Structure 1
Amino acid sequence: MKTVHLSYPLSAGIIEENAGPQIAALGQFDGVHQGHASVISSAVRLAKQEGIPSAVMTFHPHPKEAMKKGNYEGNLTPLPEKQELLAGMGVDILYVVDFSDSFSQLSPQAFVDGMLMALEVKTAIVGFDYRFGHKGAGHAEMLRELGNGRMNVEIIPPFEQDGKKVSSSAIRSALHSGELEEANRLLGHPYRLRGEVIDGDKRGRTIGFPTANLRLDDQYVVPAKGVYAVRSLVQGEWLPGVMNLGVKPTFQEGVTAPSFEVHLLDFDRDIYGEQLTVDLVSYIRAERKFPSIQELVAQIQADAETARRILDLSK
């Protein structure tokens, strides 16, 4: 998959290099969840039928982050994760549009003419709730109107599970409430975090459970505090583990910023400074304060065994 970074107005060089008949899925696609997949897979399928490239056009940074509006708190899928997921879906081109202040002022007509028509998008595929242009003035049906016969538009209906629309907001809500299995079901893949292993207080090693402390690579949506069964990509190998996400109340008070500590099962190698990819598989329990270190250690042992059972069953 080729990734092309765009800013408005498009330069002559960008147009010359990338213009040509193509099928483009349009949207923010944060999470690349099952609803998004229904839009993107439609573009990939149609492009293959017509023998032309499939494209996805998304925006970076997230519009809510760029405009400092709404309840933006982070990404479900930062750009690197989004790239990996889209490449795995068979997308040929990813257009990453710089969502600047000037771009946010663009009228719906200017977006269609200056971006989609300039790239010669033959068919645009969007979700039923797609919005574009200044203050979201454009909607899916308007996209069809503004194409004015120059561009086909396919509008994909809501993707539902158990009678409910799959949405990024529903996934965020599930993550916040500790309903990880529900969030993963809506996503269609495990919720993933990625970061660098950094020095911590090394307390875990003294109680027999060394942990990899993560400094996250991006601003992620932070799930509920607690203990999770996880799989981690370490030195090219996926390994089982258990992660504590929280403020370690047994050892400290007054801390609000959560830490991310991963104990890898049956693993004892130095990985400081390395990148760790962590897939959250199951929520085991909420974080809590223990009356003694001995009771904490006993609970960690139980959590590790619970994680091992869960991960063995979910292979």
Structure 2
Amino acid sequence: MDIIHVQHPLSSIYTAEAEPCVLALGFFDGVHLGHQELINLAKWIAIQQDLKLAVMTFFPHPKQIIGNDQTPHTYITPLEQKAKIMQDLGVETLIVVNFDSAFAHLSPSGFIEDYLCGFKCKHAVAGFDFRYGHKGEGNMETLKIEGKRFFKVTEMNKFEIDHEKVSFTMLRNLIADGRFADIPSCLGTYFESQGTLNFKDNQHVLVTLSEAFLTPPPGVYLIEIQNEGNVHEGIGYQTMDRSFQESWHLHFNDSLPLEGKKIHIKWKSGSIKKSKRMTFMRAKSIAKVQAF
């Protein structure tokens, strides 16, 4: 998969090399089941029309630029992980647009002419609530009207499970509540984050979670990691040192020959609020009860 990082104004270097494509549009944080259905729809159209399958996404999150909150945004799937999932879905070209103030002020018609036409979009695919251009003035209706001179447009309807829209907001709320057992029904897999290994001693691993990922709330969790092709289950809980640096303790039933400094953690259980006096043995016994 080719990954193209672009910044406004768009350079002709990129557009000169662009090939006619079906272009899926969206932010795609989480790449949940609704996102996957949209990308698979775009893939089907691309196959039918013998075109390249491309996805256009944006980074950082628009709210970080448009809103007043300058705090770095956290993600369900940071860009690197998002790209890996896109590749697994069969995306051939991933276009990452740097969402800065200049791009935020681009008119809806400018977005169509500069970016969609610039990348030789022949068929655009987006969700019913996709918005674009300055202050989000462009929507799916304007995309169909203004874009019909250049490309076709397919709008995907709301994706629901049990009459509730599947969205990154839903997923962020589930993560914030520690409801990890409910996430696979919306995400297609467990929520995963990345940690930096600080200390390892037999079955005990101490890690600092990447700040790019959403962080689970304090609690005791059933977790899973993969190492050298093997799956290891254990429990994890959060601590804070004297400098108020958050770390996570991970305990496993077997000793792990971990290599390198990075590990990927799948969070499988719900959250159990942990009192300051809760010992590890108490946490472990609770986690075992959850496993049944």
Q: Same fold (TM over 0.5)?
A: yes
Residue number in structure 1 paired with 2:59: 60
Residue number in structure 2 paired with 1:313: none
Match of residue 257, structure 2, among 269, 275, 286: 269
Equivalent residues in 2 for 1:173-192, closer than 5 Å: 173-192=173-192
What's the TM-score once normalised by structure 1's chain length? 0.84
Residue number in structure 2 paired with 1:232: 225
* 8 Å contact kept, 1:212–1:262: yes
* 8 Å contact kept, 1:23–1:124: yes
* 8 Å contact kept, 2:196–2:261: yes
The change in CA–CA distance for 1:168 and 1:72 in structure 2 (over 3 A counts) is farther
Please tell me whether residue 119 in structure 1 is matched to residue 119 in structure 2. Answer: yes
Shift of 1:12: 2.0
Shift of 1:189: 1.5
Taking the aligned partners of 1:41 and 1:9, their CA distance within structure 2 comes to 30
The change in CA–CA distance for 1:14 and 1:60 in structure 2 (over 3 A counts) is same
State the identity as a percent. Answer: 30
RMSD: 2.4
SS in 2 for 1:138: coil
Please tell me whether residue 213 in structure 1 is matched to residue 207 in structure 2. Answer: yes
Q: Which amino acid aligns with 1:299?
A: R
* 8 Å contact kept, 1:234–1:277: no
Listed as ranges, the gaps of 5+ residues in structure 2 are: none
Residue number in structure 2 paired with 1:134: 134
Taking the aligned partners of 1:275 and 1:235, their CA distance within structure 2 comes to 13
* 8 Å contact kept, 2:193–2:209: no
Taking the aligned partners of 2:51 and 2:257, their CA distance within structure 1 comes to 47
* 8 Å contact kept, 1:284–1:303: no
The change in CA–CA distance for 1:129 and 1:154 in structure 2 (over 3 A counts) is same
Listed as ranges, the gaps of 5+ residues in structure 1 are: 311-315
Shift of 1:270: 5.8
Shift of 1:68: 4.5
* 8 Å contact kept, 1:214–1:261: no
SS in 2 for 1:132: coil
How many residue pairs are counted as aligned between the two chains?
291
Equivalent residues in 2 for 1:44-59, closer than 5 Å: 44-59=43-58
* 8 Å contact kept, 1:233–1:277: yes
Residue number in structure 1 paired with 2:96: 96
What's the TM-score once normalised by structure 2's chain length? 0.90
* 8 Å contact kept, 2:106–2:133: yes
Residue number in structure 1 paired with 2:285: 302
SS in 2 for 1:85: helix
Taking the aligned partners of 1:30 and 1:231, their CA distance within structure 2 comes to 22
